[in-house]
Amino acid sequence: MKILLLGGTADARQLADQLHLKGLQVVYSIAGLVRIPKLGCEVLVGGFTQFGGLERYLVEHKISLVINATHPYAQKMANTAVSASRQAGITCWRFLRPEWQRMKGDNWTYYQNDDELQAALSNFKRPLLSAGQHSEPFIQSIAALCGVEVVHWRTAVPPKFNIPARISWRKAIGPFDLESERTFISDNNVDVIVSKNSGGVSTYAKLEAARELFLPVLMRKRPITETASATYVSQDEIIASIIDFRHQFHRYDETQQGSAQQ
């Protein structure tokens, strides 16, 4: 039985390691834009276009189970994983870490898209964009807001376009600690933080700092995606289900072989 694990997150790497240690055959797939992890299992870099698409890869490489453990905001990959698995007749599960929950002292405002975010940012002077990549038109529109003095923008991968004068970009790869986030926000007089509700601990410190400093947070809602056959939020639970799936798969395989020999 071969598992395709769609990764790119710390949770996905940990899951790949755990499955490999339990003797499962895993192919760990990443885009490879930031860094390539060192894992015991096979690592596939660069996506599936090189193989003629995900559906074709699943069939030709005899994948038995797809686990989508990509980032909660990887909407396109989540939809592709479900549709390609369905077309190939393969089970697809989703590992999705829980959302952060608003706590006492948090001042969060949710937004759905760039238009809503742009409207909200018109009320601030020194925002911190920490919600990943943005399009060039959006960045230009934010830089052009009359009230904005400087926009601090952090991403793991440099943008592929020229950055406007009022945008201060810096490369930043988590995890981030509370002290450094508190210092960055204070030193740069940040007056609002833009974030995705990614969940986990790697990038949570900025929200703790915002709570301490009484700063508002503009929080992007998670995207709606195609529904997988099952969704898990606990590594222990999904590992137990994978092991059970392997037992069922092997029993079915043995039955098929027995029928063929009769």
- Domain residue ranges of the chain, discontinuous segments joined by +: 2-98+223-261, 108-220
Superfamily holding 108-220: NAD(P)-binding Rossmann-like Domain (3.40.50.720)
From 31, 34, 70, select the one nearest 48 (Cα to Cα): 31
Convert the pLDDT of each residue in 30-62 to its tens digit: 986 667 888 999 999 988 999 999 999 999 999
Convert the pLDDT of each residue in 185-233 to its tens digit: 999 999 999 999 999 999 999 999 999 999 999 999 999 999 999 999 9
Instruction: State both tokens at 197.
Output: 């509700």
β-pair type (25-30, 42-45): parallel
pLDDT at 255 over 90: no
What pLDDT is recorded for position 31?
Answer: 82
Are the CB atoms for 130 and 203 separated by under 8 Å? yes
CA 110 centroid distance within chain = 18
Confidence band, pLDDT 50/70/90 cuts, at residue 183:
very high
Look-up of token digits 């599936």: 48
Fold of 2-98+223-261: Rossmann fold (3.40.50)
Same fold across 2-98+223-261 and 108-220: yes
Question: What's the mean pLDDT when you consider all of the chain?
Answer: 93
